[in-house]
A and B are shown apart, each in its own frame.
Chain A
Amino acid sequence: MQHAAPASSLKQPLAACAALAALAALALAAPAALAQEKTLRIAMTAADIPRTLGQPDQGFEGNRFTGIPIYDSLTQWDLSQADAPSVLIPGLATSWAVDAKDKTRWVFTLRPGVKFHDGSAFDADAVVWNVQKVLDKNAPQFDASQVGVTTSRIPTLRSARKIDDLTVELGTSEPDAFLPINLTNLFMASPAQWRKKFDAAAGATPADKAKAAWTAFAADPAGTGPFKVTRFVARERLELAASKTYWDARRVPKIGKVVLLPMPEANARTAALLGGQVDWIEAPAPDASAQITQRGFKIYANAQPHVWPWQLSFIAGSPWLDKRVRQAANLCIDRSGMKQLLGGMMAEPKGTVSPGHPWFGKPGFDIRYDPKAGQALMEQAGHSAAKPLKVKVQISASGSGQMQPLPMNEFAQQSLKQCFFDVQFDVIEWNTLSTNWRKGAKDASANGASAVNVSFSAMDPFFAMARFVSTKAFPPLSNNWGYYGNAEVDQLVADARTSFDDKARDAALARLHTHIVDDAPFVWIAHDVGPRALSPKIKNVVQPRSWFIDIATMTMD
């Protein structure tokens, strides 16, 4: 026994050392194995894979990663330009026109020869079927869960009718020139693939079967997009393979396989990139930018149609009723300082859209940092350091698309102090803020706030402008939280909505935007730049001035 003890005490450390050495060897081998992987691996900010059944959730990140790559829409965004605003181009429709006599009737000519990933043909029947899936409660394929993310983005669409195999008529509730832009949100899923799932589905009633069919379709979808789904693991990964028979020769993917991984935590995404686990991360941790670029990764950013403002109240008693006060606030925010705070990850706004955009117009009011001019306006309005203007803003501590709401708002608060604003915050949870936003400034949920900080998409004219300034958009119907508007603004909105020639519509929208900037119903604080960090082996990357990005045209070393 006495001899056994030393032998054992020697063997154990040796075994432990051997095990540690083996572990280290295996660990060191791991990066090599990862480096050999040629697949493009993308870490999204979403906590789950955006829905894959045609109408994605997770906001526009859903459209970016499970909408546009897998599906097509009748009209699409041109994502090939980085130095100009994204504009509308033909997609599955080659042309479209409104009926000259009845402006609620649109005729779309469809692209011939397009096939879904399951081999079935894309035609007018497929368009009608896809409209019915969100509009017609009696259609077997109607899916209430897809309605929310669709109809509110295409609010006037009411009907679809086949004229012939390659011509379809869409009807709207009122004359609406915005329809072709809104249709970028209606992705075309394969009716044949759904029918196959429906026939195989279990369920006591057709509604149960339809529900089961959509679940099965989501796991094995078929669209017409440049990538097709090869593997779906809920909440963990989505694997896409290039569709080599894609109808647009310029966008036949060069990268064979794309893997999408949900990673909601910014530090985890950054570590995954630095550790070689992924090739592309959305929204890297702001304080890791230097480290990311030092390690050879490239950070792409471009002004996005994503506005981060304070939306002001115009109800009786609001401190913002005086235009001089609204303009003063816009002049007193040190946006350049804020940009520095965010590591350069914002753009300084000149309005809801940027100069050079077809809808920018010619505003007389120049949004800039000019505290002296701001102070002068405030003094004219009767305020001073001794008599500051009290304002209260309802904000969130975090939230989807909200950038960095706490430091940004505190920075704005300090900036505005020099112009005699005494800003208080009502900080609430993001979902609650979003709910309150719909209820409006008159509702008790506003808690006495005279402004609300909710960032918004400015991709289309309804989302960017109409819903904030039209009196038809007063709560609870839409997002005119502050009850801003008058007959003149309503007329400008109507002019834009009923201008069916593209140039005339853009000109009308420019007039509307000019009016909005001059009247300042917002304090425009920042435009998001949609930062993303990519491996240098990914080439041909174009980050357009858009929420979206085209993976199909990229290559990989």
Chain B
Amino acid sequence: MLAYCLRRVIYAVPTMLGVALVCFVLMHIAPGDPLVAILPPDASAELQAQLRELYGLNRSLPEQFAMWVWRALHGDLGVSIASNRAVAGEVLRAVGNTLRIALVAAFIGFAFGCLFGLLAGYFRGTWIDRLASICSVLGVSVPHYWLGMVMVILFSSQLMWLPATGAGPSGSNDWAWDWAHLQFLLLPALTMSVIPMGIIARTVRALVADILEQEFIVGLRAKGLTHTGVLRHMVKNAAPTALAVLGLQLGYLLGGSILIETVFSWPGAGLLLNSAIFQRDLPLLQGTILVLALFFVVLNLLVDVLQTLLDPRIARS
């Protein structure tokens, strides 16, 4: 088991380096000038050269990449061109906010996704199955930024029940769970949860349908096991796959929240990415993508380990 984990950690290193390289190259081949964010339109050539030197943009690309990786290994992701603040601090704070919302969205998505999936699978062919399936298909298909806007129009602009934007009453980004903070979280988290909910529901439905047809279930029923007992066996068999899907979805939630966070002005990694792209703030953009990629890799690792713990056949294979 330990060897398996170590192997997975070692595999993660080239993945991270690849991510760093691709991200760095893509940012540098994109047209435009990163200094546009801080330079006024009529900045002189002398001033541009001075700032280019200050931010190390006058060096060759391999040199810039090597310096960036070396500093990143020491926890220094550079300084944001637009705000002049340390990128590491900015990114960690934003990722913390995204993690907060992603966990809530994942929880909602997992709970309702499993519920819909179980119901649909258990009552195959009935109206319950059809209703649950419609909900899950809608969850996967509806553009979540559109759903976010609908939520805002309904619950904020019209009903005035929940705040439309922001992260908290006083701008604090702590992990408080009281109503004053929770009300800011509900709309974006609900909006964000529809995709994992739909995907998990469809996955669980297929799993349950498959498990119910397997011989051991028929055998268990023949032995007189109650519905609850059958359900327990079903959940145990479906859990590893559902968890794997959840892990992947959590990764997507962390990285793919850019539209939701922009719609709700949620100060997370998505909004930070949006700002960085808009301002062409290269150090911030690279740092955010790197940290998000790191999270994705770590999450995958955790999910794999958890899956292996739940289903020892995986390690044996």
A interface vs B, CB < 8 Å? 24, 26-28, 30-31, 34, 43, 47-48, 51, 57, 144-145, 147-149, 151-153, 155, 214-215, 218, 231, 233-237, 261-265, 267-272, 274-277, 428-429, 431-432, 434-435, 437-438, 454, 456, 463, 467, 473, 476-479
* Contact of A456 (CB < 8 Å), options: B41, B50, B82, B279: B41
> Is the pair A235, B156 in contact by a Cβ cutoff of 8 Å?
no
Q: Which residues of the other chain, A, contact B157 by a CB distance below 8 angstroms?
A: 270-271, 274-275
> Is the pair B32, A431 in contact by a Cβ cutoff of 8 Å?
yes
Mark contacts of B160-200 with chain A using CB atoms, 8 A cut-off: 1 yes-contact digit, 0 otherwise. 11111111001111000001000100000000000000000
B interface vs A, CB < 8 Å? 31-33, 35-45, 47, 50-51, 54, 82-85, 90, 93-94, 149, 152-153, 156-157, 160-167, 170-173, 179, 183, 262-265, 267, 271-272, 274-275, 278-280
- With A268-B164, A428-B31 given, is the CB distance from A437 to B264 under 8 Å? no
> Is the pair B41, A237 in contact by a Cβ cutoff of 8 Å?
no
Task: Tell me the number of A-to-B contacts counted with CB atoms below 8 Å.
Answer: 172
* Contact of B267 (CB < 8 Å), options: A236, A429, A454: A236
- With both chains docked as a complex, state the minimum distance between the C-beta of A269 and any C-beta of chain B, in angstroms: 8
| Nearest-CB residue, chain B, relative to A457 | B41
- With both chains docked as a complex, state the minimum distance between the C-beta of A423 and any C-beta of chain B, in angstroms: 23
> Is the pair A152, B85 in contact by a Cβ cutoff of 8 Å?
no
In the bound complex, what is the Cα–Cα distance between A433 and B3 (angstroms)? 53
| Nearest-CB residue, chain A, relative to B36 | A431
The 3 A-B residue pairs with the shortest CB-CB distance in the complex, in nearest-first order: A237-B171, A275-B156, A271-B164
Q: Which residues of the other chain, B, contact A277 by a CB distance below 8 angstroms?
A: 156, 163-166
> Is the pair A264, B275 in contact by a Cβ cutoff of 8 Å?
yes
> Is the pair B164, A148 in contact by a Cβ cutoff of 8 Å?
no
* Contact of B263 (CB < 8 Å), options: A233, A237, A267, A463: A267
Q: Give 6 CB contacts A-B under 8 Å.
A: A152-B44, A261-B166, A265-B265, A271-B164, A431-B33, A467-B42
> Is the pair B43, A264 in contact by a Cβ cutoff of 8 Å?
no
> Is the pair A57, B82 in contact by a Cβ cutoff of 8 Å?
yes
- With both chains docked as a complex, state the minimum distance between the C-beta of A331 and any C-beta of chain B, in angstroms: 28
> Is the pair B37, A151 in contact by a Cβ cutoff of 8 Å?
no
Q: Which residues of the other chain, B, contact A153 by a CB distance below 8 angstroms?
A: 40
* Contact of B40 (CB < 8 Å), options: A144, A148, A237, A263: A148
Q: A235-B267, A267-B152, A275-B160 are in contact. List 12 more A-B contacts (CB 8 A).
A: A30-B162, A144-B51, A145-B54, A147-B47, A155-B44, A236-B171, A261-B265, A264-B274, A272-B163, A272-B265, A429-B32, A431-B32
In the bound complex, what is the Cα–Cα distance between A145 and B79 (angstroms)? 11
Q: Which residues of the other chain, B, contact A218 by a CB distance below 8 angstroms?
A: 84
> Is the pair B275, A276 in contact by a Cβ cutoff of 8 Å?
no
> Is the pair B84, A271 in contact by a Cβ cutoff of 8 Å?
no
* Contact of B83 (CB < 8 Å), options: A48, A261, A267, A438: A48
- With A149-B40, A152-B47, A235-B267 given, is the CB distance from A30 to B149 under 8 Å? no
> Is the pair A272, B165 in contact by a Cβ cutoff of 8 Å?
yes
> Is the pair A432, B265 in contact by a Cβ cutoff of 8 Å?
no
- With both chains docked as a complex, state the minimum distance between the C-beta of B226 and any C-beta of chain A, in angstroms: 9
* Contact of B165 (CB < 8 Å), options: A34, A151, A271: A271
- With A57-B82, A437-B41, A479-B41 given, is the CB distance from A268 to B162 under 8 Å? no
Q: Which residues of the other chain, B, contact A267 by a CB distance below 8 angstroms?
A: 149, 152, 263
* Contact of B51 (CB < 8 Å), options: A47, A147, A272, A428: A147
> Is the pair A30, B166 in contact by a Cβ cutoff of 8 Å?
no
* Contact of A233 (CB < 8 Å), options: B32, B51, B172: B172
Q: Which residues of the other chain, A, contact B36 by a CB distance below 8 angstroms?
A: 431, 434-435
Q: Which residues of the other chain, B, contact A233 by a CB distance below 8 angstroms?
A: 171-173
In the bound complex, what is the Cα–Cα distance between A271 and B83 (angstroms)? 27
Q: Which residues of the other chain, A, contact B44 by a CB distance below 8 angstroms?
A: 152, 155, 477-478
> Is the pair A148, B156 in contact by a Cβ cutoff of 8 Å?
no
Q: Which residues of the other chain, A, contact B272 by a CB distance below 8 angstroms?
A: 235
Q: Which residues of the other chain, B, contact A237 by a CB distance below 8 angstroms?
A: 170-171
Q: Which residues of the other chain, A, contact B35 by a CB distance below 8 angstroms?
A: 148
| Nearest-CB residue, chain B, relative to A269 | B165
> Is the pair A152, B265 in contact by a Cβ cutoff of 8 Å?
no
* Contact of B179 (CB < 8 Å), options: A26, A57, A148: A26
In the bound complex, what is the Cα–Cα distance between A277 and B221 (angstroms)? 57
- With both chains docked as a complex, state the minimum distance between the C-beta of A63 and any C-beta of chain B, in angstroms: 12
- With both chains docked as a complex, state the minimum distance between the C-beta of B128 and any C-beta of chain A, in angstroms: 16
Most buried by B among A51, A272, A275, A477: A275
